C-alpha cells in the first residue's frame, strides 16, 4: 500500500467517456490498496473558452473576477469525476482549491502556492478510504479570500504541491504523451523516451521549450524531493499492473539515476524575439536603465549578449524576450530611449532558441564546442549564445530550427538504437 497523487490534464478529461477512462485508472490504484488523491484540469479547450468570455465581456477586465471565471473549468471536471467514481462504488468527493485550502499569493492569474494543509484529506484516507478529487490550477489568497489561479499548466503545480502536503510516495502526471523524450518526436522521429531524468535536467527542459510539465511543478518536486512520474492516460487501465512500473519517465534526484549521459535532451522554442540596441554609451547604470523598465512591465528577458566597441566608449547589447511580449518590450525600450541613450534599435521575430541540456556537462569539456562546429558545417549562423553549468542555448534563424535540432540530437548520440 502507498499514497499516490494522480493528475489528469485537459485532453485526458475532454469528455464524459474520457472521464470514465480516468475513473478506471483511479479504481485500479484504489483496488490495489493505495490512498489516492486526484488532481484534474479543465476539459480540453474549456479554459480558452472561459478566457475569451472574459475578454468579450470587457477587454480591461478585473483580474480577480477573471480568476473567478476561469477557475470554474476545473470545478466542473472535479465534480463530474467524483460522480463517476461514486457510480463505480468508490468513496469520493470533490474539493475546490479554497476548501482544502490551497493558500496562495494575490498575484491573480499567476499566483504562487504558499501553503497547503493536507490534514483533512489524510484523515479521510484513514476514516473513509475516500478518494479526494481536487480542482487543479487554483487556490485562495488568505488576506482577500478571493479565488486565485496559478497560470497555464498550473494543475501540474497543484498536483506536486498536494503530493508534498499529504506526504505522497509519488505524483503521477497523466498526459497525452507516454513520458519525456530526448526531444520532440515530431521533429526527430528517432527521439527516445527517457526512463529517468534528474530534476535539474527536467527543469531546464521545461523552461527552455519542452511542454510536458510546467516549470514550477518541477521546481516544487525538486524542493520537496517528490518523485514525479510522467505517463500516458490513454494506456488501457486494465492492462496496467498497479504494482509494476508502466511505460513513462520518472523525474527524480540525480542520485537515483545510475547511468548519467553527458547530454540528456534537446529543447527548442520558436516563441522568441530579438532586440538589439546599438551604440550605447558604455557607462555604469546603462543595463539598469534597459532592464529595469522591462522588469516593471513584467517582461522576462532571456539571452543577453553585450559587445564593447574597439574604443571602449560605446557598446551594443542584444537580448531576447518572448514573442508575445515583443511589441510591449519594443515600446518600453523606445519610451526609455532618452535615459538609455542608444543610437539605433534593431529587432527580429524570425528567430528560435535551441538548447542542449545535460547534468553530465559538469564533468566533460568541449561539449558546446562540438555543437558550434556541427552547426557551422550546416551553415547555421548563431546570433547569440548563453551557457550555464548544465546547459547551453543558441539563438538562430527560425528557418533552421528543425535542422539544428536533428543535427545536435545525432551529434550527442541521442538517436534511438
Known binding residues for ATP: 7-10, 175-176, 181, 186, 211-212
Instruction: Give one DSSP letter per residue of 346-375, joined into a string.
Output: EEEEEEEEEEEE-GGGGG-SSHHHHHHHHH
Task: Give the span between the Cα atoms of 147 and 67, in whole angstroms.
Answer: 6
Task: Give the span between the Cα atoms of 288 and 295, in whole angstroms.
Answer: 10
Radius of gyration from C-alpha coordinates of the chain: 23
Q: What is the side-by-side strand order in the sheet with 382-387?
A: 304-308, 314-322, 265-281, 344-357, 391-397, 382-387
**Binding-site positions:** 7-10, 47, 74, 175-176, 181, 186, 211-212
52, 214 contact by CB (below 8 A): no
SS3 230: strand
Task: Give the span between the Cα atoms of 363 and 260, in whole angstroms.
Answer: 11
Cell numbers found for residue 56 = 468579450
Cell numbers found for residue 69 = 471565471
Place of cell 484523515: 123
Task: Give the span between the Cα atoms of 42 and 10, in whole angstroms.
Answer: 5
4, 29 contact by CB (below 8 A): yes
Cell numbers found for residue 51 = 478566457
With b meaning 16 or more CB within 10 Å and e meaning fewer, what string describes 326-362? beebeebbeebeeebebeeeebbeebbbbbbbbbbbe
Please state whether beta strands 265-281 and 314-322 pair in parallel, antiparallel, or not at all (unpaired).
antiparallel
Cell numbers found for residue 342 = 542608444
Cα 81 versus chain centre, distance: 25
Report which DSSP code applies to 399: G
Q: Any bridge partners for residue 18, and if so which?
A: none
173, 230 contact by CB (below 8 A): yes
Instruction: Give one DSSP letter per residue of 102-118, joined into a string.
Output: EEE-S-TTS--EEEE--
Cell numbers found for residue 283 = 557607462
**Binding-site positions for substrate:** 47, 74
Amino acid at each position: 500500500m502507498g499514497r499516490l497523487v494522480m493528475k489528469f490534464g485537459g485532453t485526458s478529461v475532454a469528455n464524459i467517456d474520457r472521464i470514465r477512462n480516468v475513473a478506471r485508472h483511479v479504481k485500479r490504484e484504489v483496488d490495489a490498496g493505495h490512498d489516492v488523491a486526484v488532481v484534474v484540469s479543465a476539459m480540453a479547450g474549456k479554459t480558452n473558452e472561459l478566457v475569451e468570455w472574459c475578454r468579450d465581456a470587457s477587454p480591461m477586465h478585473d483580474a480577480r473576477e477573471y480568476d473567478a471565471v476561469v477557475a470554474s473549468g476545473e470545478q466542473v471536471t472535479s465534480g463530474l469525476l467524483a460522480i463517476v467514481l461514486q457510480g463505480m462504488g468508490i468513496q469520493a468527493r470533490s474539493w475546490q482549491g479554497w476548501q482544502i485550502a490551497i493558500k496562495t499569493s494575490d498575484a491573480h492569474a499567476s499566483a504562487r502556492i504558499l501553503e497547503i494543509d493536507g490534514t483533512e484529506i489524510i484523515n479521510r484516507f484513514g476514516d473513509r478510504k475516500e478518494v479526494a478529487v481536487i480542482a487543479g490550477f487554483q487556490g485562495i489568497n488568505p488576506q482577500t479570500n478571493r479565488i486565485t489561479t496559478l497560470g497555464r499548466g498550473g494543475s501540474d503545480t497543484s498536483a506536486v504541491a498536494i503530493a508534498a502536503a499529504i506526504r505522497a510516495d509519488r505524483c503521477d502526471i497523466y498526459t497525452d504523451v507516454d513520458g519525456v523524450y530526448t526531444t520532440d518526436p515530431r521533429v526527430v522521429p528517432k527521439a527516445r523516451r527517457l526512463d529517468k531524468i534528474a530534476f535539474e535536467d527536467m527543469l531546464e527542459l521545461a523552461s527552455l521549450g519542452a511542454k510536458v510539465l510546467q516549470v514550477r511543478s518541477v521546481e516544487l518536486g525538486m524542493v520537496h524531493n517528490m518523485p514525479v512520474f510522467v505517463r500516458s492516460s490513454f494506456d488501457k487501465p486494465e492492462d496496467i499492473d498497479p504494482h509494476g512500473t508502466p511505460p513513462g519517465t520518472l523525474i527524480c534526484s540525480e542520485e537515483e539515476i545510475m547511468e548519467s549521459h553527458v547530454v540528456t535532451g534537446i529543447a527548442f522554442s520558436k516563441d522568441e524575439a530579438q532586440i538589439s540596441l546599438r551604440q550605447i554609451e558604455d557607462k555604469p547604470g546603462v543595463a539598469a536603465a534597459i532592464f529595469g523598465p522591462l522588469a516593471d512591465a513584467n517582461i522576462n528577458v532571456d539571452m543577453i549578449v553585450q559587445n564593447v566597441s574597439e574604443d571602449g566608449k560605446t557598446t551594443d547589447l542584444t537580448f531576447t524576450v518572448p514573442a508575445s511580449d515583443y511589441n510591449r518590450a519594443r515600446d518600453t525600450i523606445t519610451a526609455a530611449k532618452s535615459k538609455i541613450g542608444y543610437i539605433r534599435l534593431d529587432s527580429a521575430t524570425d528567430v528560435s532558441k535551441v538548447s542542449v541540456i545535460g547534468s553530465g556537462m559538469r564533468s566533460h569539456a568541449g561539449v558546446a564546442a562540438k555543437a558550434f562546429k556541427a552547426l557551422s558545417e550546416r551553415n547555421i549562423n548563431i546570433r547569440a549564445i548563453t551557457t550555464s553549468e548544465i546547459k547551453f542555448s543558441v539563438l538562430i534563424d527560425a528557418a533552421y530550427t528543425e535542422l539544428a535540432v536533428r543535427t545536435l540530437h545525432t551529434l550527442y548520440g541521442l538517436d534511438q538504437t
